[in-house]
Amino acid sequence: MAMITGGELVVRTLMRANVKNIFGLHGAHLETIFQSCLDHHIPITDTRHEVAAGHAAEGYARATRGLGVAMATAGPGFTNIITSIANAYLDRTPVLYITGSAGLAQAETNTLQAGLDQVAVVTPITKWAHRITVAQEIPRLVAHGVRLATSNPTGPVLLDMPMDVLSAQIDENSVAIPEKVLIDSRSSPDPKDVDEALKLLAGAARPVIMIGPGAYFSGAEAELREFAEATGTPVYSDFQAHGLLPSNHPLYGGTFHKMADLSAPDQRPDVVLALGVRFGLFTLGMSDLVVPLAAKIIHVETDPKEIGRLRQVAVGIVADPRETLRALNARAKSQKWPDRSRWQQTVANAKVERCKRAQSDLNRAAPPIHPFQAVSAIVDNMPERTIVIGDGAEAYHWMNEVIRQNQPGSYITHGFLGAVGMGLGLSIGAQVANADRPVLCLAGDGAIGFTIAEFDTMMRHGLPIVVVVMNNHSWAASQHFQEIVSGKNRLTGTELRDAKYHEVAAAFGCHAQRVTEIQELGPAIKAAFASGKPACVNIAIDVVPLPPELHLLMARH
């Protein structure tokens, strides 16, 4: 009779759930899990701060459209990872968080790293949080947690594991590990709603398709393209769905905010097919600017709570976006669709006009570098298939102006939490998930400071992420807000120093370069990728310009 630990049961169950990588930071409470991962060759990417491990698990989940797993030890390890749990909760990212805690036998003894009810703390920000108290129950409860995290609407699950449960010795024949942990069952739309949606779209003068995270996670790229092309409908995306329809596709209009460019009365979309979209921040809330109030909305979402939350819907479909597109495609084929070439031209012209408006920024010769020049040079010089992670605030809004990705899962940036500083963690997860793809993290100089020691994680794990710091000596989005709301002579707590972030990265062994002139930037990006090492390119950026998207957001304050 072979005896195994509770930690071994955790790892054996995770393996049945096809878990190939875990992110975490060690603590004695988790030792049995670390030892079992070693035995089973499950790599643990160990970070320098638990929040980076959590964000890495999020990045992994978003890049793979699968489950991410993060571990944090009892007490401070747990409290450090909470920002990631909140981020995953608001973004509905499927992450399993495993936390250690003091042994059950130590309850109420004022012992080390204990005294917190960790489950109670995160219950409001998880799909499910549970403390496992019986070692034999580990396989059932871990499998249950994995299924809850990965089933629609997806989201984070936390399993808290007391140290004496993890170190308990169990007869391996007394516990069965579930054979099948993951399920992939999708909800289909009601045929009458499909007919209604097609009728509305066929009768529209200026229809658009909006795609959000639900469309991305459902893997709808082929079906989306088929439907957009069959019906001639332009497509706009939020960041998670970016690349689902390639950016160079003639029907691709841009990220959601670009819909505000369709502002003339005869340019406003009249029917919107929203696939896996959550209305709110990225659609500018209740405002008319992105989604016209008069537009008829067909909303396809797996979570019924999202349908009608901000906008009345003409058709509400609680179903999987990919299955819905399949049903739409099956019926759209036999239908004759109106000629949409004039409408498509309007969308294409709006893109050209936006580029023209930015042209003078591109032509600037003298330093400091205009942020639009910087992001343009970055995108023009990064290798094909680069996954871009957008952190900071204005930094990623500038990136939104130029990002063009031709495959899904290639642009990972802020969700509803807007957690500045998540970039290095997300990048680590995206790189671990995609060893064969380049990864670039665009960070503000504020953002980079949160987890700057993660350059060490990248070095230790051989993750050649290129980190570009948009260094404007400022928490720029905060500073610009302050200037607008309180006045330019009222700056407080929003300015930073011109720090040598690249030298910090170099101290960890990374490739490093400072860039002050625009003509140096392209070669610097190329050299950073060519180095084959983690890299930091620290660019001197002009703090003055405000990204066009922020004009829209700040105008609402």
Ligand X SMILES: Cc1ncc(C[n+]2csc(CCOP(=O)(O)OP(=O)(O)O)c2C)c(N)n1
- Interacting stretch for ligand X, rule CB under 6 A, among 22-30, 441-449, 460-468, 482-490? 441-449
The verdict on 421 binding ligand X (CB under 6 A) reads yes
Q: Cα(first)–Cα(last) distance of the chain, in Å? A: 68
Parallel, antiparallel or unpaired: strands 95-101 and 157-162: parallel
Nearer to ligand X, 17 or 470 (CB): 470
What sign does the CA torsion over 506, 453, 494, 365 have?
Answer: positive
DSSP 8-state code for residue 468: E
Among 91, 221, 445, 549, the residue binding ligand X under the rule CB under 6 A is 445
Catalytic residue check, 172: no
Nearest distance, CB of residue 324 and ligand X, angstroms: 34
CB 537 within 8 A of CB 520: no
Among 95, 114, 389, 447, the residue binding ligand X under the rule CB under 6 A is 447
For tokens 């749990």, the residue is 85
The verdict on 423 binding ligand X (CB under 6 A) reads no
The verdict on 419 binding ligand X (CB under 6 A) reads yes
Any idea what the Cα angle at residue 448 is, between residues 447 and 452, rounded to 5°? Answer: 140
Nearest distance, CB of residue 447 and ligand X, angstroms: 3
Nearest distance, CB of residue 314 and ligand X, angstroms: 35
The verdict on 96 binding ligand X (CB under 6 A) reads no
Which of the following is catalytic: 6, 7, 24, 29? Answer: 29
Among 420, 463, 510, 537, the residue binding ligand X under the rule CB under 6 A is 420
Strands of the sheet containing 44-46, edge to edge, are 44-46, 22-24, 68-72, 95-101, 157-162, 128-131
Which of the following is catalytic: 8, 27, 50, 511? Answer: 50
Any idea what the Cα angle at residue 265 is, between residues 264 and 271, rounded to 5°? Answer: 110
Nearer to ligand X, 247 or 413 (CB): 413
Could you give the 3-state DSSP secondary structure of residue 165? helix
The verdict on 504 binding ligand X (CB under 6 A) reads no
Q: Nearest 5°: phi and psi at 229? A: -70, -40
Strand intervals (E) in 165-213: 169-171, 207-211
Residue 448 CA to its chain's centroid (Å): 17
Which of the following is catalytic: 280, 418, 462, 532? Answer: 418
Nearest distance, CB of residue 428 and ligand X, angstroms: 18
Strand partners, 317: 300
Residue type, 349: N
Nearest distance, CB of residue 446 and ligand X, angstroms: 3
Nearest distance, CB of residue 540 and ligand X, angstroms: 13
Q: Which two tokens stand for residue 537?
A: 């390119």
Nearest distance, CB of residue 516 and ligand X, angstroms: 17
Nearer to ligand X, 234 or 444 (CB): 444
Among 6, 214, 446, 464, the residue binding ligand X under the rule CB under 6 A is 446
The verdict on 529 binding ligand X (CB under 6 A) reads no
CB 470 within 8 A of CB 541: yes
Catalytic residue check, 130: no
Q: In Å, how far are 201, 206, 267, 313, 530 from 295, measured between CA atoms?
A: 11, 10, 12, 9, 48
Nearest distance, CB of residue 222 and ligand X, angstroms: 36
The verdict on 441 binding ligand X (CB under 6 A) reads no
Catalytic residue check, 223: no
Comparing every residue's Cβ against ligand X, the nearest one is: 444
Q: CA–CA separation, 541 vs 479, rounded Å?
A: 15
- Interacting stretch for ligand X, rule CB under 6 A, among 259-267, 372-380, 414-422, 428-436? 414-422
Binding mask 463-502 for ligand X (x = CB under 6 A): -------x-x-xxxxx------------------------
The verdict on 318 binding ligand X (CB under 6 A) reads no
CB 243 within 8 A of CB 215: no
The verdict on 551 binding ligand X (CB under 6 A) reads no
Which of the following is catalytic: 24, 54, 113, 421? Answer: 113
Q: CA–CA separation, 243 vs 230, rounded Å?
A: 19
Any idea what the Cα angle at residue 228 is, between residues 226 and 233, rounded to 5°? Answer: 165
For residues 354-413, which are near ligand X according to CB under 6 A?
392-395
Strand intervals (E) in 289-344: 296-301, 315-318
Catalytic residue check, 345: no
Catalytic residue numbers, as ranges: 29, 50, 113, 418
Residues that bind ligand X (CB under 6 A): 392-395, 418-421, 444-447, 470, 472, 474-478
